[in-house]
Structure 1
Amino acid sequence: MAVRVALRGLTLGRCHVPVKHLVIVWILLLFISGWFFFMVDHRPAACRHEDMLQYVCHFYSKGIITGKMCPRLCQGKDFVFTKCLSKSLEHQVYEVEVKQSTTLWKERLLVHWTHDPKDGDYLRPMDGSSMEDLRHMLSAFLKLRLGDSYFVKFQTKIFDIADINNDGKVSLAEAKTLWGLLHGNNFLILMALSGSEMIPRLEGFCGDIYVTEGVQVYNLYGPNQMHSGVFRNIFDRDQLSWAQRAHIVLGVIEFVEEIIDNPLGNFLMCSVTPQSIGYTRKHDPKLLDLQGISPEVKVEGQLKERECQTDSDCIYGLNCQSPCSLESHKCQSEVTYPNLYKMCQLIEPVLFNGVPTEIEEKLKVTFDRCKGLRHSGRKMDMEHSLVINDIKGVIWRQISDTNS
């Protein structure tokens, strides 16, 4: 077909199309394309809280699962999802604000959903299971995840939480809810370490969705980030004083101390990063990503079965590493670096930014000792305790002197 350009329009064969009409058509096409682009949901799958709610609330509506948070999540509109903190489909985290009619300040909470499609749709325990069956299931599960420990008190605590209507029994819906929650490693660690101030307070749950207290800042290093290893004034925007940052550091150090001799066994900080630790308005640190905490028996069990050529083949998570045996070419079970070694590297930028000159040298010597820690039986345990006491002692004396 011949195309001839006229002075006042386009002539296509015998059809004459004015230029202004053609421009209008193009504008309409651009508008429709733009509208379609913005209407399509471009959020990653891990950030679609509507899908999460639709899935869980479907089972709640059928009476298969339960939870005190179900009416608020599934029927009410007082939860406003404001921020997505998710990294994967299997573990989704959202910040929500709770509408308050009496105060201007809105309560901030975190909604967690750790869902593994392999576990099925709340299939266990099955209909007809007794309380005794549930106790045996729970005991075997805890032994598998936490090793040989004394679980009686912990089991009672779990059953008390599962008994939503406080009737002294665990119904089938309550049992399915409990089983779904525990299969998410985050909730199990939350329960196991709930006595620590650094573990966020549980506010409630619905099926395998659970809600915890919120935080003010989602990164140990504050709103600003460190880039390329270059030290920056990372707390300037937050305007935290050194004493406030030292308060955060003390909380982290005390947490490291608490999980060494936990009644349920030792726990290792294998994938804890600055983004795993937030803090509240009162500058109390809170562990946000409990995936980074693993029972020692679980780490050792997986490492000792692994074949290796070098030590780099023996890494669990981000930074739990054990030596590779040159004789057997199997990873040894005991990790090389203790929790305190890793935490000293993490908190050093926080503590040494604006550190008072009168304690800087003493803290530097103590942190050098900390970064030299290695696992070596009882000798390491003693050195570990001494380093913790030295760091806490220097900080507390400085804070006390400043306050006085």
Structure 2
Amino acid sequence: MARLSYMRIKYLFFSWLAIFIGSWVIYVRYNSYTELCRGHECKTTICDKYKKGIIDGSACESLCAKETLYFGKCLSTNPNNQMYLGVWGNLEGVIKCQMETTLHFDFGAEPEPRKEIVLFDKPTRGTTVQKFKEMVHGLVKTKLGDQGNLQELVNLILTAADGNKDGHVSLPEAKSAWALLQLNEFLLMVILRDKEHTPKLLGFCGDLYVTERVPYTSLYGVSLPWIIEIFLPMGLRKRMDQWFTPSWPRKAKIVIGLLEFVEDIFHGLYGNFLMCDVSAKNIGYNDKYDLKMVDMRKIVPEMSLIDYIKDKSCESDSDCVYGLDCSTTCDQSKKKCTAHVTQPNLAKVCLLVKDYLLRGTPPEIKEELEKQIYACIALKAATKNMEMEHSLILNNIKALLWKKISHTNDS
């Protein structure tokens, strides 16, 4: 009898403990979700400005009046940068919206947050089209430097800003365009508008914008229920990420696309852009295994980054880091960050795809592919012959992969 009573107490205790832990986990998860996913706040702010006639754009009427553009699944990874799957009539896209004021290259925080007090304050009423063109020209020159045909780029930006395609940029459209130009991803989408690996801009309203949807939103990895994620060891999680990937020829095709994207942003018409968050979740692909970038918000013009980081006070190299993957070194004699970026994009990309690509590699090319991948990872940005080595290694890897898959259906 005493044993039965003891077992009952033990059962009740563990049942209560399980309920308590489960409730706590659900509470924390709910709080985390509501903090992370603030799309309703973003929509309220944008539509309030639109209804007051402050902003306008190609997506405003659908978002705020007709309500044919609506927020779907939350994809946000940071409260300041909202990202949702969106449905716009019969189109599927991705809705992106900033939540605080734009702070360029703030090393202690997520880039491109926004504050209400300065939102959509430029250009002011009475600004002529010519004056607005000069404003845009000055901004892109600051971001990119005096290279390429900046006037042509300004004309492309004004064409994109003309949301209703009436051949005229109104003041509300200009305010939206100016806010969007503070965002690196928007500028990059305009510059790379004809490149196949860059998502297309579908529309905008203020600094909320809609891009084409990428069916597979991570280079690799498997989506698991959050309750399993909590208790899954990191080592096992990483191994599982590599298990659930396409066949090797398809992986090779995706990597070729990634290498082509690196070429697109390496010393192009408007200079070099740096990938400052090279992670699997920012890189996706479509049903034909063509690479598509999912999130380019941390791909920044090299000149902008260097202008900000040089002479920044530092104690060690760790103080000279932007995002996850862009860094320079700390000059210990001056206690200032240098202007020389440590790694080129190609080296960071090769490190990302090393395990992904080498798993299942055909034996006849595995040794040579390993050699090229490790040579790629060892690339340093400041070396004398870096550009020549960069081009040689990139072309060698592309040729090796393409030769192996060119005769297959996956190509």
| TM-score, normalising length: structure 2 | 0.81
> 1:126: how far off?
0.8
1:114–1:184 Cα contact (<8 Å) kept: no
**1: CA distance between counterparts of 2:119 and 2:297?**
22
Q: Does 1:148 align with 2:146?
A: yes
Q: Does 1:278 align with 2:284?
A: yes
Aligned to 1:32: none
**1: CA distance between counterparts of 2:263 and 2:272?**
10
Aligned to 1:133: 131
For residues 297-344 of structure 1, the C-alpha deviation after alignment (integer angstroms, 9 at most, x for no partner) is: 112112212123332332222122222224323221011111111000
For residues 118-161 of structure 1, the C-alpha deviation after alignment (integer angstroms, 9 at most, x for no partner) is: 46232211111111221121112112222222311100000111
2:42–2:98 Cα contact (<8 Å) kept: no
Structure 2 letter corresponding to 1:61: K
Correspondent of 1:386 among 389, 392, 395: 392
Q: Does 1:227 align with 2:234?
A: yes
Q: Does 1:121 align with 2:127?
A: no
Aligned to 1:92: 82
Over 3 Å counting, the alpha-carbon distance change for 1:199 and 1:402 in structure 2 is closer
Aligned length: 360
Correspondent of 1:329 among 328, 335, 355: 335
**2: CA distance between counterparts of 1:318 and 1:378?**
25
**2: CA distance between counterparts of 1:41 and 1:58?**
26
**1: CA distance between counterparts of 2:394 and 2:171?**
46
Which has the larger displacement, 347-356 or 388-397? Answer: 347-356
1:63–1:173 Cα contact (<8 Å) kept: yes
**1: CA distance between counterparts of 2:92 and 2:204?**
16
Q: Does 1:76 align with 2:60?
A: no
Q: Does 1:110 align with 2:110?
A: no
| Larger Cα-atom Rg | 1
Q: Does 1:400 align with 2:384?
A: no
Name the % identity. 38
For residues 240-273 of structure 1, the C-alpha deviation after alignment (integer angstroms, 9 at most, x for no partner) is: 2211111111111111111112111111112221
**2: CA distance between counterparts of 1:309 and 1:265?**
30
Over 3 Å counting, the alpha-carbon distance change for 1:221 and 1:163 in structure 2 is same
Aligned to 2:181: 182
Aligned to 2:166: 167
Which protein has greater RCO, CA pairs closer than 8 Å, 6+ apart?
A: 2
Correspondent of 1:53 among 43, 51, 75: 43
Q: Does 1:311 align with 2:314?
A: no
Over 3 Å counting, the alpha-carbon distance change for 1:358 and 1:153 in structure 2 is same
> 1:379: how far off?
0.6
Correspondent of 1:246 among 249, 252, 271: 252
| TM-score, normalising length: structure 1 | 0.82
Q: Does 1:354 align with 2:352?
A: no
**1: CA distance between counterparts of 2:33 and 2:241?**
29
Which has the larger displacement, 240-249 or 338-347? Answer: 240-249
> 1:42: how far off?
7.4
Aligned to 2:268: 262
Structure 2 letter corresponding to 1:84: C
Over 3 Å counting, the alpha-carbon distance change for 1:401 and 1:132 in structure 2 is closer
Aligned to 1:194: 193
Over 3 Å counting, the alpha-carbon distance change for 1:250 and 1:227 in structure 2 is farther
**2: CA distance between counterparts of 1:389 and 1:169?**
44
**2: CA distance between counterparts of 1:49 and 1:98?**
16
Aligned to 1:20: none
1:224–1:235 Cα contact (<8 Å) kept: no
**2: CA distance between counterparts of 1:71 and 1:230?**
43
**2: CA distance between counterparts of 1:243 and 1:77?**
42
2:86–2:95 Cα contact (<8 Å) kept: yes
**1: CA distance between counterparts of 2:74 and 2:371?**
40
Which has the larger displacement, 74-83 or 204-213? Answer: 74-83
Over 3 Å counting, the alpha-carbon distance change for 1:127 and 1:287 in structure 2 is same
**1: CA distance between counterparts of 2:219 and 2:124?**
43
- Which ranges in structure 2 are unaligned for 5 or more consecutive residues? 1-26, 102-113, 225-232
For residues 30-59 of structure 1, the C-alpha deviation after alignment (integer angstroms, 9 at most, x for no partner) is: xxxxxxx9xx98742441322211111112
- Give secondary structure in 2 for the equivalent of 1:181: helix
Which has the larger displacement, 262-271 or 323-332? Answer: 323-332
**1: CA distance between counterparts of 2:89 and 2:300?**
35
**1: CA distance between counterparts of 2:159 and 2:259?**
31
- Which ranges in structure 1 are unaligned for 5 or more consecutive residues? 1-36, 101-106
- Give secondary structure in 2 for the equivalent of 1:205: strand
Structure 1 letter corresponding to 2:201: L
Taking only aligned residues, the RMSD between alpha carbons, in angstroms, comes to 2.5
1:265–1:296 Cα contact (<8 Å) kept: yes
For residues 363-397 of structure 1, the C-alpha deviation after alignment (integer angstroms, 9 at most, x for no partner) is: 00101111111124551111111100110010000
- Give secondary structure in 1 for the equivalent of 2:315: coil
For residues 272-293 of structure 1, the C-alpha deviation after alignment (integer angstroms, 9 at most, x for no partner) is: 2111112222222222222221
2:58–2:163 Cα contact (<8 Å) kept: yes
